[in-house]
Amino acid sequence: MGQTARVSAIAWTAAVSLAAWLWLLLCQGFFWRTDVRLPPERDPGTWPFVAVVVPARDEAEVLPASLPSLLAQDYPGRAEVFLVDDGSTDGTGELARDLAGRSGGLPLTVSSPGEPPPGWTGKLWAVRHGIGLARARGPEYLLLTDADIAHEPDSLRRLVAAAHAGGFDVVSQMARLRVESLWERLVVPAFVYFFAQLYPFRRIGRKGARTAAAAGGCVLLRAETAERARIPDAIRHAVIDDVALARAVKGGGGHIWLGLAERVDSVRPYPRLHDLWRMVSRSAYAQLRHNPLVLLGTVLGLALVYLVPPVAVVTGLATGSAATVVPGALAWLVMTGTYVPMLRYYRQPLWLAPLLPFTAFLYLLMTVDSAVQHYRGRGAAWKGRTYARPDAVVGEER
């Protein structure tokens, strides 16, 4: 009798999981589709001046693969690159100057703002310094891009043309992250998939919709919009800046767009599970606003949506309960099907799709570990700095 009750409970839970997946499939902005790419472009009559701001802290490892691509932009108008060396100890600034001397291309200014004052994250303090230098030149647009992001030669031109055609205040592309090691293949596509599930790209670009997000590695921002929204001062506490920036702009009536990149790539490697674990766990609890109840709800939600389907299938097969197998298998099938487009976008084998529950379990553990680190007083750590503000607004910082 007790075993029958347990099987019945799993069957009902599997049915709820299936209902959740049907809702996600049809009602969550079609988050699983990967066809939200750069919007239609139209060349402006006069190409505006663009200042490219690159905050960089100990980036000597990746800079040779990224900075030359920025300097080599084939942009019809005026553009300058401002690389802000945020207290690096590995010669990032000197390497940037050397690369510019050998590569040529767009003008490069390298400067350092010193350590951030209280109340500022290091990256945003560097961005503020870079924007301040650029503002003296009078740019019409700012391209905020991370030091690990490589751009194809036409990247800047296409971003500006899309912003001009659509009247966007922000045009942001989620760079294609590196997927070479086994752990990168398992974890990275899921990272983007989960992000899109939280912030469906179609809703972000819709006027009047509340959903707001950007991808911090590639953000084209109107200079006057940045000034009106007080970027980055208004988000100076942000441990991770992209969602905070998008909310500030959209909250002020700005029009934003976010989609997947085709010609913008991150060159930062995450070869080991430890590297990916640290990348996620250092700020996952901040994403939940350091709220234990939200953490509990997130853990239960991840378990219901991602872990219950395979558990129901295994339990149903072991007990011969079709009422348990069927909803579990259907939920797992829907889950797998929605993950396939992201794997195709990342050019990964489709046999990885049924393994999404395993990857989701890893993310659940990373989130719990993030909370444990917070309560041990470690906060969100990145390259020698720790940020423990409980009210931090987050998105993504590299």
pLDDT given at position 391:
41
Contact 54, 146 (CB under 8 A): yes
Rounded-to-integer distance, Cα 5 and Cα 1, Å: 6
**Residues contacting residue 192 through CB under 8 Å, at least 6 positions apart:** 174, 177, 260, 342, 346
Strands 79-85 and 108-111: parallel
- 390 pLDDT tier (thresholds 50, 70, 90): very low
| pLDDT tens track for 161-193 | 999 999 999 999 999 999 999 999 999 999 999
* pLDDT one-digit tens code per residue, 22-36: 999 999 999 999 999
* Beta carbons of 398 and 218 less than 8 angstroms apart: no
Structure tokens given for 259: 């989609």
pLDDT at 197: 97
Q: If you ran DSSP here, which 8-state letter would residue 227 be given? A: H
% residues pLDDT > 70 (the chain): 93
Cβ-proximal residues to 277 (8 Å cutoff; 6+ apart), any chain: 362, 366, 369
Strands 149-151 and 256-266: antiparallel
- 3-class DSSP assignment, residue 271: coil
Q: What is the mean pLDDT of residues 128-149?
A: 96
pTM, two decimal places: 0.93
Question: Which of 292-304 are b and which e, b meaning 16 or more Cβ less than 10 Å from the residue's Cβ?
Answer: eeebeebeeebbb
